[in-house]
């Protein structure tokens, strides 16, 4: 008995969420230049419907992290540009940094 090669499946196709796309785009990206260069480690991203909240660490062990609050219009490039402007001491304070937020 031959089985058609285009047999339908009942598995729903799901697109990655905006949070998943942001996490994938930021994970292991180099930030900064020269002696100030570091690698971004995404600890988590949450979508509250108004903003994306991304917890980013400068070290693989999760220490020295910061939370970015991104507007729905912010892109991974905006997030990386903001991360590149932050002084190293920002990562020890658990600060929340707005990215393209109006309020």
Contact 99, 79 (CB under 8 A): yes
CA pair distance 65, 52, nearest whole angstrom? 16
Model confidence pLDDT, tens digit, residues 43-60:
999 999 999 999 999 989
Model confidence pLDDT, tens digit, residues 7-43:
666 777 888 899 999 999 999 999 988 888 899 999 9
On whether residue 34 sits in a domain, the answer given is: yes
Question: Vertex 98, ends 47 and 73: CA angle to 5°?
Answer: 60
Q: What pLDDT was estimated at residue 77?
A: 96
Q: What are phi and psi of 84, to 5 degrees?
A: -70, -20
Which of 2-11, 41-50, 81-90 ranks highest by mean pLDDT?
41-50
Number of domains in the chain: 1
Q: What pLDDT was estimated at residue 29?
A: 96
On whether residue 8 sits in a domain, the answer given is: no
On whether residue 55 sits in a domain, the answer given is: yes
On whether residue 27 sits in a domain, the answer given is: yes
Range(s) of the domain holding residue 38: 18-99
Rounded to an integer, the average pLDDT of 54-79 is 93
Question: Vertex 22, ends 20 and 26: CA angle to 5°?
Answer: 120
């Amino acid at each position: 008995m031959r089985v058609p090669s285009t047999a339908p499946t009942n598995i729903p196709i799901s697109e990655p969420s905006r949070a998943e796309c942001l996490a994938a785009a930021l994970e292991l990206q180099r930030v900064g230049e020269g002696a100030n260069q570091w690698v971004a480690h995404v600890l988590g991203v949450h979508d509250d419907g108004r903003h994306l909240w991304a917890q980013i660490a400068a070290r693989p062990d999760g220490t020295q992290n910061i939370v970015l609050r991104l507007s729905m219009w912010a892109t991974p490039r905006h997030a990386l540009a903001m991360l590149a402007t932050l002084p190293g001491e920002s990562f020890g304070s658990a600060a929340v940094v707005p990215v393209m937020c109006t309020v």
